[in-house]
């Protein structure tokens, strides 16, 4: 693969254009925010601890012999 000819001369102006374009492309998507489907998904999904929490629900571990 051929490398850029003026590798050393990658000037700051071009680099700043590239950076600008890259961020413009990216930020265009970021600005769309959170699509509803993802907001819903995150709201309703249970983490792994939910399963164990429901199991443990009935029998809270009281230290026995609490007189």
Partner 1 sequence: MPLTDSLRDDILASVPSLRAFAISLSGNGDRADDLVQETLLRAIANIDSFQPGSNLPAWLFTILRNLFRSDYRKRRREVEDAEGNYAKTLKTQPAQNAHLEFEEFRAALEKLPQDQREALILVGASGFSYEDAAAICGCAVGTIKSRVNRARSKLSALLYVDGAEDFGPDNTVRAVIGGNGG
Residues that bind partner 1 (CB under 8 A): 2-7, 9-11, 14-15, 17-35, 37-39, 41-43, 45-50
Q: Do 60 and 66 form a contact (C-beta atoms < 8 A)?
A: no
Smallest separation (angstroms) from partner 1 to the CB of 8: 10
Our CB check for partner 1 shows the closer of 2 and 62 to be 2
Torsion of CA 44, 48, 50, 54, to 10 degrees: 140
Tokens 């012999």 -> residue: 65
Least distance between partner 1 and beta carbon 24 (Å): 8
């Amino acid at each position: 693969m051929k490398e850029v000819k003026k590798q050393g001369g990658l000037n700051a102006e071009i680099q700043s254009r590239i950076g600008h374009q890259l961020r413009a492309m990216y930020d265009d998507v970021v600005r769309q925010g959170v699509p509803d489907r993802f907001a819903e998904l995150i709201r309703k999904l249970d983490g792994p601890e939910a399963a164990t929490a429901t199991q443990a629900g009935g029998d809270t571990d009281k230290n026995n012999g609490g007189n």
